[in-house]
Amino acid sequence: MKKESIVNSAHDLPLPPAEQLMRRVAEMKANGVRGFIPLVQAVAKQYGDEAYPIAQQVFASLGFEVTLAQLKDPNEKGVNSYPWR
């Protein structure tokens, strides 16, 4: 199976096993906001820059402070094990 963008995969592909999803979420949580930045960037690439302030608000509601510049940083790689990278 070829790797798909996480944005598109939910539409066309079955979900991975629960254990695999939980491991991915744990990896992202372990890295705090940094672990979610590649996902935010993938969404913004697909749907536009409006995704950045929405993500910033979501992170703030979870107690994380992040700037728009951090979210947009093309050098931010997050966790290397993402299936959509």
Convert the pLDDT of each residue in 34-65 to its tens digit.
Answer: 778 888 888 898 899 999 999 999 888 877 88
Would you state the structure tokens that stand for residue 51, as one six-digit string? Answer: 């995704």
DSSP one-letter code for 36: G
Contact 78, 40 (CB under 8 A): no
Radius of gyration in angstroms for the set of CA atoms belonging to the chain, rounded to a whole number: 13
Q: pTM of the full predicted structure?
A: 0.60
Angle (CA) 8-14-19 rounded to 5° is: 110
What pLDDT score was predicted for residue 2? 47
